[in-house]
Each structure stands twice: as C-alpha cells, then as structure tokens.
Amino acid sequence: MEDLKVIGFISSEYRSLVLPFLFHRIRLWSWAQGLGSLITCLQNNVKLASAVRVLNLQVIWSTHDPSEDLRRIIEITTQWEEFVLPTGDNLPLVVFDDNTRLQLRRLRCTGRGGVKFRQLLVDILPTCTNLVGLDIPDLEDDWFMTSDPTGSATATWVNRLRKYRGPSSPLGYPRGGAPLYQLTSTTAISPRKLQRLGRLVGQQLVALYVDIHWTGDLSLSVANYLPPSTIPSLFPNLQYVGWFPVMSQRESVPHDPVRNILAPTSLLITHIHGIAQPKSSGDEGILDANEVLSAIKQLHHLRQVWLISHQCSLSLPEPVSIFIQDVQKMSLPYLHAICLWTPNSEPPSYAFRKERVESANDGFHTKWTCETGVWIAPVFD
C-alpha cells in the first residue's frame, strides 16, 4: 500500500490506476475538522469520490453526532457498497434511510451487540433487499431466540446472502435456492444443521471455515459425530476449508486415556474434514488418518486447507508432518496451500505452498516450500 501511495504522488501518468486501490476503503474519524476536509476533498474530486467502495464508520461516533456529515459523505460517494459499523451504543442507525437500504450490498459489524444492534438485524436488514454479504460478531443462541422468536426477520436476510460470517444460529433458516457460497461460522454447527446445509447449498458452497475456540474439555462425543465419508457428498465443490485437528495415529497415542485434543467447539471441524473416528465402545473419539485423507482426496476442487495441531513440540511433530506429506502426495490439481496452526509450539504456524520451479534438466516441476511463524487466518478468493 505504501508503494502505491508513492507511485500516486510521483507519477501523474499512473495516478488514475492507483486511486481506486488507495480510496477503495476510507475510514472516517470524528476529528474536529477532519470530516469537513474530507467532504471538501470528495466534492472537488469526482475520481476520488467514485473510487470509494467501503465506508468504515467504526469510530466516527466517538466525540460528537456527525449525522449530517455522514449523510453528505454517503451522497457524495455514490458508488459505495459496504459499511463497517460498531454494534454498541455508537451504532449510527440514522444512516439507514431508504436509499441506503437499497444500495447496501455488504455489511461488517464489530463489537458485542446491544439494543441498537438488535434493531439493525431485526428491523433494518430485512429491508436491505440487495444485501449479499454479512459479517457479524459472536452471539449466543438465546440472543436470536429472544430478539427474533419466530425467526422471520433472520430468515429474510439470511436467504439473500452469498457470503456470511458469524454465529451458527442463523444457519437454521436458509431455504432451497439460497445463494450462499461462502460460509464462515464462528461457532460450532450441529451435525443435523450441517447436513441440512449440505442438502440446500452444498453443491454451490466453495468456502467453508469454522473457528475453533479452545477449551479445557478434550473429549469428542459420538452423539455429535458426523462420519467424514459424508463430507464429499455434502460439499463436493469446496475450494477452501478450515480448520480441523491433526493428531497422532492410534498406535502412538497413550493407551489411557484416548482423549487427545478435541474440544466440543471444534466438533464441526472434526466432522467437516473427517479427522475423528469414534471408538466402538465408550464416547470418546480418536484420529483415523486414512479416513481423513480419503475425504480430502475426494474434494477435487480444493485450493487451500487449514489444519490445527495441539501437540506440544519445538518442531513440527512427526505424525503431523507425515499427514501433511500425505496430503501433498495426493497431487490435487488445484491445491496450492496447506496451512497449519500449532498454538502450543514454536513457531506457532506453518504455511506449505506449492511452487513451480524451473529445472535445468527437465523444464518445470512443482515443489512444496514451508514458511514458519506466518499469519495463516483464512482468506478466501
């Protein structure tokens, strides 16, 4: 980004190419004269105003009520498509007039909810008829049951979304024909809800990411288990998937207990990627690597996969290393990155990337390289 700024300053020839990148997103601050200067700048430069696609309003409400300034900026930046908003008492609901509700295509909310946030989800979002992308913070199931008891408001906006990031509660409302193709769930999803999603949107879903909130309970309940063999049939066209745990093979696990590292909140990841195999007796789960590899191999369109290992080691644990090598040997045509998070180890993350390398003898060939200590949060194309 800094390089783009330099190019824009020193080269008038390339400035028109740089501006759309520099002003794609603007963050509005509530400094005394900042908004007035910004409004003047946007008014005097149509190219700048037309380049804006994202209006970040997270902090603008902190010192005074800038309602009129907000309305003016929204009017000037006629091509905007997305808002970034706080969810607490500073949520500027005043900006949602009829024109804004019609123009809004993507909305990202930060914070922990509140009375105004309830009004946004229940009263305003159902009227945003062109909304296709939504990112909301974690909310308990009880919050949705209290705020929208019948689920009618939630069902209205969730069935318009193509991209969703947030808690799993709204995922019980999609109907047949819902356009959802990119899903990031910040909480676990029950097997029943996952199977229903597979029937409704499984053929079109290309990105599926489920966050893991690590807890101290390390058991896997068979009652919450979804066989990995069902995953390729539920979501056959996945290109991006994450996360799921990687553990030792049965013979390398201490005989008692065989609990390993699966928390209830990570069950969805376990289910999606088939990392666990329930024992014939008892209610705990262990890894069946072959079953996992079989499920991954059937995802022919896979581009990136994110894994998690809680094995403590100063280096990459051997069972995990072998597992990753087995994934690499599958030679999936589109797979170009395998990301591994090891929160209990140093370095805490690894990224394995496929590269095309020139050889003096036989032209080009591919190989896997490894980066360590890198940020590996999923980014979907």
- When pLDDT is cut at 50, 70 and 90, the band that residue 7 belongs to is low
- What's residue 91's pLDDT? 85
Pairing label, strands 363-372, 349-359? antiparallel
**Are 86 and 64 in contact, with CB atoms under 8 Å apart?**
no
Rounded distance between C-alpha atoms, residue 308 and residue 272, angstroms: 13
pLDDT number for residue 147: 92
Model confidence pLDDT, tens digit, residues 299-330: 999 998 888 776 667 778 777 888 889 999 99
Residue 235 φ then ψ, to 5°: -130, 70
Please say if the pLDDT value at position 371 is more than 80. Answer: yes
What rounded mean pLDDT belongs to the chain? 77
Q: What is the C-alpha separation between 116 and 87, in angstroms, rounded?
A: 7
State the pLDDT confidence band at 132, using cuts at 50, 70 and 90: very high
3-state DSSP assignment of residue 84: strand
Tell me the pLDDT tens digit for each residue of 10-47. Answer: 666 666 777 777 888 988 775 545 677 888 889 998 88
Give the model's confidence band at 89: pLDDT under 50 very low, under 70 low, under 90 confident, else very high: confident
The answer as to whether 28 is a domain residue is no
Beta strand ranges found along the chain (DSSP E): 25-27, 54-56, 82-86, 106-110, 133-135, 163-166, 182-185, 207-210, 240-242, 276-278, 285-287, 304-308, 337-341, 349-359, 363-372
Which residues neighbour 121 within 8 Å (Cβ) at sequence distance 6 or greater?
136, 147, 148, 153, 154, 157
Residue 277 confidence (pLDDT):
36
Distance CA 72, CA 39 (A): 8
Identify whether 10 is part of a domain.
Answer: no
Burial class (CB in 10 A: 0-12, 13-18, 19+), 35: buried
Residue 37 has a pLDDT of: 81
Q: What's the domain count of the chain?
A: 1
Q: Considering the domain boundaries, does residue 100 fall inside one?
A: no
Domain housing 282: 181-381
pTM for this predicted structure: 0.81
For 211-253, what is each residue's pLDDT tens digit? 655 444 433 333 444 566 778 889 999 998 875 556 544 333 3
pLDDT at 270: 31
Q: What is the pLDDT of residue 226?
A: 57
> What CA–CA distance (Å, rounded) separates 42 from 156?
35
| Strand (E) or helix (H) holding 12 | helix 12-22
**Residue 243 belongs to some domain of the structure:** yes
Please check whether residue 204 lies inside any domain of the structure: yes
What six digits make up the tokens of 162?
């193509």
- Among 336, 341, 334, 299, which Cα is nearest to 320's? 341
Instruction: State pLDDT tens for residues 280-293.
Output: 333 334 446 777 78
| Residue 100 pLDDT grade (very low, low, confident, very high; cuts 50, 70, 90) | very high
Q: Is residue 16 part of a domain?
A: no
Residue 227 lies in a domain: yes
**How far apart, in whole angstroms, are the C-alpha atoms of residue 203 and residue 197?**
10
Confidence of residue 258 (pLDDT cuts 50, 70, 90): very low
From the list 146, 123, 139, 203, the residue with the least C-alpha distance to 171 is 139
| Stretch 48-68: mean pLDDT | 79
Nearest-angstrom CA–CA distance, 27 and 66? 14
Report if residue 151 sits inside a domain: no
Sign, CA dihedral 313-332-300-249, equals negative
Return the pLDDT at 249.
Answer: 40
- Section 274-285 average pLDDT: 36
